[in-house]
Amino acid sequence: MQTNQERKIFLLLAGSTSVSKIPGITAAGATPELSFLTPAVDAEILTEGRPLSMNDPPMTPDGIPTPSIITRACLNIASLWPLVINAGMAQKPGSVFLETGLGPAGNPVNGDALPELDRAIKTGKEIGKFLSRTFSDLYIAESVPGGTTTAYLVLKAMGYSVETSSSLKMGSDAIKEDLWHTLTSGKENRKMNPLDAVKRYGDYMMALALGLSRGASESRLHYCGGTQMATVFELDRTINNPTGGRDVITTGWVIDHKPDTMKKLVRDQNLVRTDISFHDSPFEGLRKYDEGHVREGAGMGGSYYLASAVSGRKEIMEEINSVYGELAQIR
């Protein structure tokens, strides 16, 4: 049981960006159009244990299941209930979530991606203030298809020369680079202010996370995710300069995929690696993770870290297989 001095909450910032509809950008959905539905269904799986807005759990084009299944199982083991926050979902889930009134981030090809940046940060700050009165540790995860692309664009605008990870096995670096050159006509040399970069190219998950950090400045924040959350960590450091502890918890799959990016954005002492393997799972969809598919999402690495603190791998894998098996039967 959590003590008054150490109370944890797991947050899922679920949102959409029009960037996800660009073909080849994300595997978070069987088609680019279905990527707009993925955050809502991830939210439903985390809170209800099953999808409500569609018949099947979100799948990659290759039929590999959403990592929210793993997160659900790990949170069961850790006895933590997730709080879903609307970070700009295109479709709202059929399960309980905290409404912010934010809509999807726009495609920067058409103008600023976040016209309501200030309101999003203010909203996040108020939520952070409220949560910090009760919780000492905030574990912040995301479900934003296309979010590694918005992270890449924001980092490029700030002058970073890095590559972000991808849910696709082969990655989508070339498509991201082509999008950057389309947006800048190959002439963007001036480094942008970090907040300006977020407003121009980012997504509302980033804005809400920055607000949460401001409101819970003295709490410990754990960014659960890959290069998206490493980007949020770096934005938080450069914009907010928080006094509380901050770290990034992610899977070894992400770190091994983009080691240089993770090292540039997160210091070694602030990076927590979680090694997961599904090599002995009876389900092919899970075994595919070990082959380089998906890698992260919905706080998978962070939730596995939380589960590992209270249980061994055998029990965790049994719960993951159980949750996956129940969803497979629904299909």
Q: Which residue has the higher pLDDT, 117 or 63?
A: 117
Q: What is the predicted pLDDT for the residue at 170?
A: 45
Q: What is the predicted pLDDT for the residue at 293?
A: 85
How many whole angstroms from its chain centre is CA 66? 12
pLDDT-based confidence at residue 309 (cuts at 50, 70, 90): very high
pLDDT digits over 91-147, tens only?
999 999 999 999 999 999 899 999 999 999 999 999 999 999 999 999 999 999 999
pLDDT digits over 140-153, tens only?
999 999 999 999 99
* The dihedral sign for the CA sequence 132, 133, 137, 143: negative
Domain count, the chain: 1
How many residues are recorded in the chain? 331
Q: What is the average pLDDT across 202-228?
A: 96
Percent of the chain with pLDDT over 90: 69
Q: What is the predicted pLDDT for the residue at 22?
A: 78
Do the domain assignments include residue 1?
A: no
Return d(Cα 200, Cα 111) in angstroms, integer. 7
Do the domain assignments include residue 3?
A: no
Q: Which CATH number fits the domain that encloses residue 158?
A: 3.40.50.10210
In Å, what is the CA distance from 175 to each residue of 33, 44, 180, 228, 308? 17, 30, 9, 17, 36
Do the domain assignments include residue 273?
A: yes
Average pLDDT, rounded, for the chain: 89
Return d(Cα 2, Cα 13) in angstroms, integer. 23
Please state which of the ranges 12-26, 39-53, 248-262 shows the lowest mean pLDDT. 12-26
Do the domain assignments include residue 2?
A: no
pLDDT at 172 over 70: no
Domain of residue 20 covers 8-330
Do the domain assignments include residue 17?
A: yes
Q: Which residue has the higher pLDDT, 59 or 48?
A: 48
Residue 119: both structure tokens together: 């309101």
Q: Which residue has the higher pLDDT, 331 or 91?
A: 91
Strand segments, DSSP code E, in the chain are 8-14, 82-86, 137-143, 220-224, 246-251, 271-274
pLDDT-based confidence at residue 156 (cuts at 50, 70, 90): very high
Return d(Cα 316, Cα 117) in angstroms, integer. 39
pLDDT at 30 over 70: no
Q: What is the predicted pLDDT for the residue at 3?
A: 47
With a CB cutoff of 8 Å and minimum separation 6, the contacts of 210 are 121, 124, 198, 232, 235, 236, 239, 240
Q: What is the predicted pLDDT for the residue at 165?
A: 67
Do the domain assignments include residue 48?
A: yes
